[in-house]
Amino acid sequence: MRLCYPLLICLVLTMSSSFIISSKHMWTKMILTHHWPTTFCSMEHCQSNISQWTLHGFWPDGGAFCNSSWHFNSSEIEDLLPDMKTSWPDLFDPLSNEFWKYEWKKHGTCAAKAISLNSQHKYFSKALNLYHTLDLDSILKKFSITPSPQYYNFSYIEGVIENFYHVKPKIQCGQSTKNDSFQVLGQIELCFNSSFALMDCEKQVSTESVPDRGWDYTMNVDKGSGLSMCNPDVPVYYPPVE
């Protein structure tokens, strides 16, 4: 029996270490990112006739590429694929699964540290559910924010989103290559806490219960190429579908 004690101690230490490592990488915020396909494709040289805001990603605020051995398997989300192709399309290749594969590999494996997202089906279905519940595209249209050759005041777009959802979004724009007197609406992020309640995207979440997060607590998420936070003083162009 005495021989078991060192083994038990080692086992306890190993389990404790695993828990500590896991908690260090645990997220506290999920970012549901919508992008406007026309803006994306004008910057990334793709073609799209999609006339609705689509999903770019569902990103945790801590860590990236958390489990390289957990490979994407489209058969696990087969029932979601029709919706994925419409709501979360690959703008480069609509017939490919590569975009979803990348999003799972980089972000899904980190989001999966929460029980609520610990499978591919849970991760992708939760993103789709939140996307449809928010219905950002319809809300913008409801308040007359539609693709137009006319420019919008940034404060109006931001105000509509804030007043409707009661949280502060993160809105990103691209710079026009032809005219620096306006910016191009590109991406809108809405954020959720660990209970999937909306929260301000810039809000700092308390980390007292998750000690020693270190460098990996820095938000490690994507943004559209060439996009940055919109300048509140510059008119916004919301480009029509070409």
Please report where in the chains the tokens 């026009």 appear, as a residue: 176
Does residue 189 sit in helix, strand or coil? strand
Q: Which residues are catalytic?
A: 56, 103, 107
CA distances 222 to 73, 77, 83, 124, 198, Å, are: 22, 23, 22, 17, 20
Sign of CA dihedral 132, 129, 22, 208: positive
Amino acid at 130: L
The answer to whether the beta carbons of residues 239 and 184 sit under 8 Å apart is yes
